[in-house]
A and B are shown apart, each in its own frame.
Chain A
Amino acid sequence: MLSGVLLFNQKGELLIMRAFRQDMRPRLADVFRIQVISNAQIRSPILTLGSTTFSHIRSENIYIVGVSKGNANSALVFEFLYKLVSLGKSYFGRFDEEAVKSNFVLVYELLDEILDFGYPQNTETETLKMYITTEGVKSERAMEDASKITMQATGALSWRKDNIKYRKNEAFVDVIEDVNLLVSASGTVLRADVNGQIEMKAYLSGTPECKFGLNDRLTLGENGTDPGNMTGKKAHRAAAGSVTLEDVSLHQCVKLSNFTNDRTISFIPPDGSFQLMTYRSTENVNLPFKVHAIVNEVGKSKVEYSIAIRANYGSKLFATNVVVRIPTPLNTANTSHRISQGKAKYEPSENAIVWKIARFTGQAEYVLSAEAELSAMTTQKAWSRPPLSMQFSLLMFTSSGLLVRYLKVFEKSNYSSVKWVRYMTRAGSYEIRF
């Protein structure tokens, strides 16, 4: 397992170094600095030298490095590094050089707690915050109920503390979908899928047992393997109220065996916000925007664009912050454009015309026509034509068709609770080749 953890800033200065095993030598920090940070050629997250492996991720402007000897469980190492970042974020707001420098003692304290002999221990933020705090004073007070903490840190309900009380019991559910699209130059959809996540903010007293209900007809991918059956099924899948999920991952708190048996999602939520589940869907993806792009290279001096975007959702809805990036050749000298809505601007640093539409009403269609003038080049390398990409966010719409039917909360004291649900669809990687 992990022999040590290193944190560097972008310049390669060591911010944190903690050894968990004998084989973690201080000089390994120099090795990483020389072999990875100052080596522009290395772009891989894993480097093995001898039997020592450096696995690193980057967060904001720092490198977070896990050092291991032997054939360590790489998934565990990276998951731990991600966890460290998210812990840092929940403790300091953000996890960057600044935050690490001004809280380095706390970072050491956290590392000592969440890793023992290089094995990740309890990393639940809620529990850790009970006894590792930014204010030294609080940790004194926490000492009084130490045994409560230890039970919490080792218990089956490590994500929730006892005796939480709210005057008003509320739960907020956010269904957020990232829709990914890749369309070929000829207009065929190469891939369209949805990565969804359900975020929950639970402000509920006591030990509430929650039950979560999605669409009436929830199918989970396993039967997709038989291609003969596909066409027949599609018809009824498209029926309203049904959704087909390829796969779901559930938060630690969800009782996975219940889910496997009868697809019910029941759990005792952590206090505050957490990610209840993530899912993937590839069937019947509703694409919010249809893009029609014609791009012609006229000789060697000009490229002509004609882009039309149509909103495929109901006319009562509207998407916000729509940004369309239209790539231009590297030797673009100047552009001119006409648009029916929004603002467009040529961004030389991005090699793209950026077209922004603040509010895109459903069923509307907006067009852009543009021309890029090219300067003469000595080399005649063909333009690689990177895909056109879109960003947007659209409320009250799910591309997968997923719906939250109910959220039931059962608690001993039988209080009533208020639940709120929001839906949002965003662009993941929404790319159109031309």
Chain B
Amino acid sequence: MFMPMYLAGGLYRSLPHTRQGKVAELRQELNAPVNKKDRHFYSKKIALKKIVANMTMSNNDMVALFPDVVGAMQVPNLEIKKMCFLFLVNYAKTKPDVALTALPILLHDLDDTNPLMRALALRTVSYVHVKQYVEATVLPVKRLLKDPDPYVRKTAAFCVAKLYDHDRHLVENDDLIDRLNLMLRDENPTVVSSALAALMDIWERSESIKLTIDYSNASKVVQILPDCSEWGQTYILDALTAYVPQDTDEAALLAERITPRLSHTNSAVVLTCIRVILYLMNYMDNQATIAALCAKLSPPLVSLLSKGPEIQYLALRNALLILQRRPEVLRNDIRVFFCKYNDPIYVKVTKLELIFMLANEKNINEVLTELREYATEIDVHFARKAVRAIGKLAIKIEPSAKVCISVLLELVATKVSYIVQEATVVIKNIFRKYPNQYESIISTLCENLDSLDEPEAKAAMIWVIGQYADRIENSDELLEDFLDSWADETHEVQLTLLTATVKLFIQRPSKGQDLVYKVLRWATEDTDNPDLRDRGHMYWRLLSTNAPAAKQIVMGEKPPITAESEKLDPATLEEMCLVVGTLATVYLKPVHTVFRSSRVRRIQESPALQRSQLPTYQAAQQAKMMNPDERALPSVFPDETNTYSTQNGDVLDEADAYFASVGGQGMANQGFASLPGTTEHGEERMYVVNQGQGVGTVAPTMHVQNGEGDLLSF
């Protein structure tokens, strides 16, 4: 049985052994007549504490005490009242009928002379998800929105959002939202910011509501920013993205006025402020103003790296994003992203991605020294990623390819198995990017054949052997070695082996003759993999009917590869910049793919909007240049997001359904038992940012895999 361990010291003397006994004892304690000397209701408090403790442990037996707790609400003591209210909020849904008996008490407290009491009662009454409660709150809320005390007014403002959560039709059919709107003119800054937060909350959940802030309103709320709490400032800044500048000067002026917030110590204020400035830049035409603003964004962003690791991580993920939209931010700051030895792994991995993005011809030596250091770190996944980054840099920065390759060879020389394998994979890509340039290093690779045991590395090596079969002296022997274990290889390796053998045969027919016959037979006869069989048959027919065509196809020119795959697509980038600092930026995926029910934010049309500067517009222009035939390319943005939502819709639906079942009453045991099962097919819907990758979907075994949001994967 679950026992609240923490009451053992001091509070508990003897514990009853049966559930009923426990409830009975607590009831007795709670209802015991108050001793005259006990002016502060000490014994009642202890009884209630025990009840609350049991409640935390999800001990549902405590529901039985509901009527007694309602009784205790009458005690004129604030502490007791607070505990009773907590109990009420927790169990009202389970026992709505009992909860109703407490309603008159709460309604009475709404008229209390003490503003703290009024606010407390209002807060509590609006937490209860029972129809009668919600209906009974509407009238008092209207009154309390005009309460003389600002503390009560701000509580009432949030209360409207809560009521909307309980029953949106009730709120929409009443004039509550209009009244909430009026609160924006309140004299107290806290009330204004609370009203804005409440409005934003309602807006987030309803497509039918439009939130528009005009310049004079925006200007007014910016005015009161300094007088708000750090949270209030965040709410106001958050709401400012609903303001659509009609004029480029307006946008510039407003951005200028909020820049002091960048020096705030609270990172929520800073990141939200950065979001608003980035948003407003879309409406500015003066490049000098934009450049000046960009220069101001960099220092605060870097300063966030001296905060807790979680905030650092968030700042780094956002830096990845901002860098793509406004490369001038952070341009000179590569060193601040060098890893500290004790950084948590998720911070290190993101720093690595940033280093990769910021690397250029000028700082390449510095970067390579740093990456080389990471490649020998203890964390295998991180080390591999560092090796991979070096290889990608060779592809990204052409003039520096040579230095990158020499560093890779140094790493291969360490003979650490996973480093060699990773290096093999990236060297293969280097060969593809720079054909016929660096073949001299093939011999070094061939020395380490024995240490390859991962499919990806094997496949890469086999590809190299096949591609350069005529230049590697003993290519037939090397391939034969690999072929020995044909039956045990993965399909991926088998496919590469098949192609490589055909390549060998085409380049050196005498040496490859026996091998190719053997492999083609295996591929066509001994396999149950359709891809392999199809490819085998195709080669066979090609080779037997038209050898020159086979050569053309198999040894044909390959399209060049680039390192651009790490960039976000323009539509995602545009959307992400509107949600800087939120969870979606951690995953760097369109909001809809992660959070189905979230409302999508879009850049609103206005005369001031600099459409030509938007990433989506530029991408569309580029596409137009590429295929001049296609005249009218539709705007990419809306369609894109829609397709995403349909793709992921079912999966997320399923996930939500799962959570709904998990929380249901009476399903407690069932919900628990089904947990392991759900993880099995939960792999598609779990987004996790773990040690290894930037973002990945988690398979139950948590193997290394190519996360979709992973910027450094091929």
A433 at interface by CB-CB < 8 Å: yes
The proximity string for B residues 571-589 relative to A, scoring 1 for CB distances below 8 Å and 0 otherwise, is 0000000010111111100
- Which residue of B has the minimal Cβ distance to A68? B583
Which of B66-74, B157-165, B387-395, B539-547 contacts its partner?
A: B157-165
The proximity string for B residues 636-661 relative to A, scoring 1 for CB distances below 8 Å and 0 otherwise, is 00000000000000001001101110
A84 at interface by CB-CB < 8 Å: no
How many Å lie between the Cα of A65 and that of B166 in the bound state?
A: 25
B201 at interface by CB-CB < 8 Å: yes
Partner among A123, A136, A225 whose Cβ is within 8 Å of the Cβ of B79: A136
How many Å lie between the Cα of A391 and that of B603 in the bound state?
A: 50
Residue among A124, A256, A387 with the most chain B CB within 10 A?
Answer: A256
The proximity string for A residues 117-138 relative to B, scoring 1 for CB distances below 8 Å and 0 otherwise, is 1011111100000010000110
Residue among B78, B228, B234, B583 with the most chain A CB within 10 A?
Answer: B583
Partner among B265, B332, B687 whose Cβ is within 8 Å of the Cβ of A249: B265
A349 at interface by CB-CB < 8 Å: no
- By a CB distance below 8 angstroms, the chain A residues around B9 are 102
Task: Give A382 Cβ to nearest chain B Cβ, in Å.
Answer: 6
B149, A150: Cβ atoms closer than 8 Å:
yes
A48, B686: Cβ atoms closer than 8 Å:
yes
Q: A22-B165, A75-B268, A150-B115 are in contact. Are A50 and B652 (CB under 8 A)?
A: yes
A45 at interface by CB-CB < 8 Å: yes
How many Å lie between the Cα of A69 and that of B6 in the bound state?
A: 31
Task: Give A243 Cβ to nearest chain B Cβ, in Å.
Answer: 15
A49, B655: Cβ atoms closer than 8 Å:
yes
Residue among A19, A137, A147 with the most chain B CB within 10 A?
Answer: A147
- B32-87: which have CB < 8 Å to A? 40, 45, 49, 52-53, 56-58, 77-79, 82-83, 85-86
A250 at interface by CB-CB < 8 Å: yes
Q: A73-B238, A257-B226 are in contact. Are A182 and B267 (CB under 8 A)?
A: no
Q: A75-B272, A191-B338 are in contact. Are A151 and B150 (CB under 8 A)?
A: yes
A280, B656: Cβ atoms closer than 8 Å:
no
B332, A225: Cβ atoms closer than 8 Å:
yes
Range, interface on chain B: 35 or more
The proximity string for B residues 209-240 relative to A, scoring 1 for CB distances below 8 Å and 0 otherwise, is 00000000000000000111111001100100
Which of B342-350, B490-498, B528-536 contacts its partner?
A: B342-350
B677 at interface by CB-CB < 8 Å: no
A190, B583: Cβ atoms closer than 8 Å:
no
- Which residue of B has the minimal Cβ distance to A194? B306
How many Å lie between the Cα of A124 and that of B204 in the bound state?
A: 28
A311 at interface by CB-CB < 8 Å: no
- By a CB distance below 8 angstroms, the chain A residues around B234 are 73, 76
How many Å lie between the Cα of A27 and that of B678 in the bound state?
A: 14
Which of B172-180, B370-378, B470-478, B549-557 contacts its partner?
A: B370-378
- Which residue of B has the minimal Cβ distance to A151? B150
A43, B346: Cβ atoms closer than 8 Å:
yes
A158 at interface by CB-CB < 8 Å: yes
The proximity string for B residues 134-157 relative to A, scoring 1 for CB distances below 8 Å and 0 otherwise, is 000000000000000111101100
- By a CB distance below 8 angstroms, the chain A residues around B40 are 136-137, 140
- Which residue of A has the minimal Cβ distance to B154? A154
- By a CB distance below 8 angstroms, the chain A residues around B332 are 224-225, 227
A405 at interface by CB-CB < 8 Å: no
Task: Give B572 Cβ to nearest chain A Cβ, in Å.
Answer: 14
B586, A74: Cβ atoms closer than 8 Å:
yes
- By a CB distance below 8 angstroms, the chain B residues around A193 are 336
- A12-50: which have CB < 8 Å to B? 13-17, 19-22, 25-31, 34, 41-50
B591 at interface by CB-CB < 8 Å: yes
B56, A104: Cβ atoms closer than 8 Å:
yes
How many Å lie between the Cα of A274 and that of B267 in the bound state?
A: 17
How many Å lie between the Cα of A386 and that of B117 in the bound state?
A: 58
A139, B78: Cβ atoms closer than 8 Å:
yes
B659, A72: Cβ atoms closer than 8 Å:
no
How many Å lie between the Cα of A314 and that of B156 in the bound state?
A: 61
Task: Give A260 Cβ to nearest chain B Cβ, in Å.
Answer: 4
The proximity string for A residues 229-249 relative to B, scoring 1 for CB distances below 8 Å and 0 otherwise, is 000000000000000001111
Interface size on A, residues (CB 8 A): 119
Residue among B45, B309, B311 with the most chain A CB within 10 A?
Answer: B311
A48, B687: Cβ atoms closer than 8 Å:
yes
- B287-301: which have CB < 8 Å to A? 295-296, 298-300
- By a CB distance below 8 angstroms, the chain B residues around A182 are 338, 340
B95 at interface by CB-CB < 8 Å: no
The proximity string for A residues 372-397 relative to B, scoring 1 for CB distances below 8 Å and 0 otherwise, is 00000000111011110100000000
How many Å lie between the Cα of A54 and that of B662 in the bound state?
A: 16
- By a CB distance below 8 angstroms, the chain A residues around B327 are none
- By a CB distance below 8 angstroms, the chain B residues around A252 are 229-230, 264-266
- By a CB distance below 8 angstroms, the chain A residues around B596 are 51
A381, B268: Cβ atoms closer than 8 Å:
no
A153 at interface by CB-CB < 8 Å: yes
Partner among A15, A26, A48 whose Cβ is within 8 Å of the Cβ of B587: A48
How many Å lie between the Cα of A158 and that of B190 in the bound state?
A: 10
A420 at interface by CB-CB < 8 Å: no
How many Å lie between the Cα of A278 and that of B154 in the bound state?
A: 31
B369 at interface by CB-CB < 8 Å: yes
B170 at interface by CB-CB < 8 Å: no
A105, B675: Cβ atoms closer than 8 Å:
no
Task: Give A159 Cβ to nearest chain B Cβ, in Å.
Answer: 9
Partner among A19, A104, A156, A158 whose Cβ is within 8 Å of the Cβ of B6: A104
Residue among A43, A120, A249 with the most chain B CB within 10 A?
Answer: A249
- By a CB distance below 8 angstroms, the chain A residues around B190 are 122, 153-155, 158
B83, A105: Cβ atoms closer than 8 Å:
yes
Task: Give B463 Cβ to nearest chain A Cβ, in Å.
Answer: 28
Which of A108-116, A203-211, A289-297 contacts its partner?
A: A108-116
Task: Give A284 Cβ to nearest chain B Cβ, in Å.
Answer: 15
- B700-714: which have CB < 8 Å to A? 702
- A162-183: which have CB < 8 Å to B? 180, 182
- By a CB distance below 8 angstroms, the chain B residues around A68 are 583
How many Å lie between the Cα of A13 and that of B340 in the bound state?
A: 33
Partner among B197, B299, B303, B376 whose Cβ is within 8 Å of the Cβ of A384: B376
Q: 5 closest A-B pairs (Cβ-Cβ)?
A: A25-B663, A50-B655, A150-B151, A101-B6, A247-B299
Partner-A contacts on B (CB < 8 A)? 5-6, 9, 40, 45, 49, 52-53, 56-58, 77-79, 82-83, 85-86, 89-90, 114-117, 119, 123, 127, 129, 149-152, 154-155, 158, 161-162, 165-166, 188-191, 194, 197, 201, 204, 226-231, 234-235, 238, 259-261, 263-268, 270-272, 295-296, 298-300, 302-303, 306, 308-311, 313-314, 331-332, 335-336, 338, 340-342, 344-346, 366, 369-370, 373, 376-378, 414-416, 579, 581-587, 591, 594-598, 652, 655-656, 658-660, 662-664, 668, 671-672, 675, 682, 685-691, 702
21 contacts between A and B (CB under 8 A): A14-B56, A25-B663, A27-B663, A30-B672, A41-B690, A41-B691, A51-B595, A51-B655, A68-B583, A73-B238, A73-B268, A74-B586, A75-B311, A76-B234, A108-B52, A109-B79, A140-B77, A224-B332, A246-B303, A247-B303, A384-B377
Known pairs A78-B311, A251-B265; list 9 more (Cβ under 8 Å).
A48-B587, A116-B155, A119-B231, A122-B190, A146-B116, A225-B298, A250-B265, A280-B306, A431-B341
